[in-house]
A and B are shown apart, each in its own frame.
Chain A
Amino acid sequence: MSDPARILIIEDDAVTAEEMSGILRDAGFVVAHADTLPAGLARAAADPFHAIVLDRMLPGGDGIDAIDTLRASRAGAMILMVSALGRAANRIEGLDRGADDYLAKPFETQELTARIRALLRRADPVAEAGLMQFGALQIRTKARTVHAGDTHIPLSPREFDLLVFFARNHGDLVTRMQLLEHVWNLHFDPQTNVVDVHVSRLRRKLETAMDVPVLHTERGAGYVFDPLRPAAEG
């Protein structure tokens, strides 16, 4: 990444804010913090930010009511709501009210960085032109086909959606919750790791055709899609 992305955290709990700042700085972002809603709005209006991490229950109001104001003052900034109101209904409400993503507290470190990265990618879409290419792997999003070189890889519609989500976040960690939310539109955490089975199937199909590892498992966290990794390493 050329210029580090700037991120504003609007969060009243000092310890949480401190930890979030630390996590995001470690991940290579430039971080600013505001601890009340009015202060956050003022800061967002004054300086440009690529993403805003917005709490809900804040001194000065509910962050969800500030989404429209933030959008008006800082168009282009992606908004990630991070809230203790973590029931599925709360998440859906947040997304309906205009948040770009919604993360419930408590969250895992990787979950926060993964979601911020995914949001920054969405904010700055590389011209896809209907074709995404990773080495020999070609994904045609309009025709919904996948090829390894000249070999067609047959995928189910859901597997295709899964692959596209991975491809759009290539090189970055993608968590199970992200997959459930974006690929299946489900906002709860099932007891069994159903997602893992789907990822395994997709991986098997891709790697049979590609002969190189495509999907890497990050233990306990999620997956990284990077067909070019072994080539880069040697």
Chain B
Amino acid sequence: MHLTTAQRLAAAIAGAVLLVSALALVTQYVLVKRDLMARQTTLVQADLAGFAALYDQRRIIAVRQAIEFRLAQDSTADMAIALWDRRSEPLAGNIQNWPPRGMVVPAEGATTPVQFVTLGDQPYLGTARMLAGGFALMVARSTASMNAVLAQMRRLIAAALAAIAVIGALTGHFASRWILRKITRINALADQVAGGDLSARLPGPADPDEFGTLQRHFHHMLDRVEALNRATHHLSDTVAHELRTPLTRIQARLSRLNAGNDSAALQEEIRSTVRIFDSLLEIARAEAEEGQGTALPLNLSDLLVEICELYEPLADTLDIAFRTDIAPAVTILGDRNLIAQLISNLLDNALKFSPPGQSVTVSLAADDPRHLMRVSDTGRGLPPGFEAHLFDRFARADPTGAAPGHGLGLALVKAVALRHGAKLSLPATDKGFAIEIAWPKVVET
């Protein structure tokens, strides 16, 4: 069974209370039982010692009289006293047969320890002594009343534990429901935010407790995230303006210099610089807009075919076999230009890292719940240990710089995929590199 944290906590508290109560009550019971036993034992030993002393002083007659007198005095009728002669004939008392069931016959002059005996089917606690001359003397007390007290106590303990268990479970249940309700509210908010709605907040004032504090912290955090998000948008526009304007001047003046090859090389450097910060801005923007969703349906099959068609001649010139297996009419919700750039980056990489004679395969399959797009090549594959950094900005599989690029291609791929709620994975391949993007299917409404 799946338990929530609050339920677990409630169960643990109820269980602990029950356990402590049970321990206390059982300890109490054991102590009471021991005390009652000790008292019974002392009583029968004292009685036996008294009669034995009388026998030593005044012999049989006195003992018989004393026994009859003592029995007459016993209003509760829970005493058993008897005296037998050497032929086990009863001389006095209220028990006929010697030795009764369970009683050990002591040697002459000896006393048995206090033990349980059965007299007339009733349990007794008794002790016996073999008096000088072979007279057996026994004193016993019924344990019925003691057992009744203990039984009563056991019933009380059981009832108390049952009550504690029920009350504990109920308290736990309501406490967990109460906590759960508060946590569920905050979780619902977190879901809403994760879904892209950064402006979501819990309505009403915060409670004056820890949950209220949590809610306030959460709200502060969201305010901050929202502000950062706005700042990112603003920053990308500002950076664009503040950096591009001077670059525009540089480039314009450069063209005036008309210095031939140097000028062309510098122009290319500027282009490359612009491409880097364009990519960084696109990544930042796509990350900031992650999960916000796009309402525009896009025919992914057509777009993929178009981009493949753009790259196919290049593969041909590089002597790389280019294979496509694209299911028609696969539609997703997405930004055409961003996804075109994603596909372009994947194909750029696949071609860049595949030596002549290898192959690049692009496939798209309509599936449920996600459409699977895969780009794989039989090229060099990743250097060992590179996978962890694959999607980082400026991560390059070839750190020598022999291959062109700035290590932003896959960072953008990841940002664009997450922006569209797609999942990235790297399927295992025998040779080369493969990447799979699982696009969410359009939910029909």
Contact = CB atoms under 8 A, between A and B. Distances in A.
Interface of A: 13, 15-16, 19-20, 22-23, 57, 84-89, 92, 104-110, 158, 184, 186-192, 194, 197-198, 200-201, 219-220
Contacts of A106: 244, 247-248, 250-252, 270, 274
A84 B249 CA distance: 12
Interface stretch (B102-110, B307-315, B358-366): B307-315
Contacts, number: 118
A194 B314 contact: yes
A191 B256 contact: no
Contacts of B405: 191
A107 B341 contact: no
A194 B241 CA distance: 29
Interface stretch (B138-146, B278-286, B386-394): B278-286
Contacts of A201: 313
Given A16-B249, A192-B352, 18 more contacts: A13-B248, A19-B249, A19-B256, A22-B256, A86-B244, A87-B236, A88-B338, A89-B285, A105-B247, A106-B250, A106-B251, A108-B255, A189-B278, A191-B348, A191-B404, A194-B314, A198-B310, A220-B268
B334 interface: no
B409 A191 contact: yes
A20 B310 contact: no
B240 interface: yes
21 contacts: A13-B249, A15-B249, A22-B252, A84-B243, A87-B240, A87-B282, A87-B285, A106-B252, A108-B271, A109-B252, A109-B255, A110-B255, A158-B309, A186-B340, A188-B341, A189-B271, A189-B275, A191-B345, A192-B351, A197-B317, A201-B313
A125 to B, nearest CB: 27
B290 to A, nearest CB: 15
Q: Tell me if B's interface is mostly helix, strand, loop or mixed.
A: helix
A194 B311 contact: yes
B407 to A, nearest CB: 11
Interface of B: 236-237, 240-241, 243-245, 247-253, 255-256, 264, 267-268, 270-271, 274-275, 278, 281-282, 285, 306, 309-311, 313-314, 316-317, 335, 337-338, 340-341, 344-345, 348, 351-352, 404-405, 409
Contacts of A192: 314, 348, 351-352, 404
A85 B278 CA distance: 10
B252 A188 contact: no
Q: Which of A15, A85, A106 has the most CB of B within 10 A?
A: A106
B344 A188 contact: yes
Contacts of A190: 344, 348
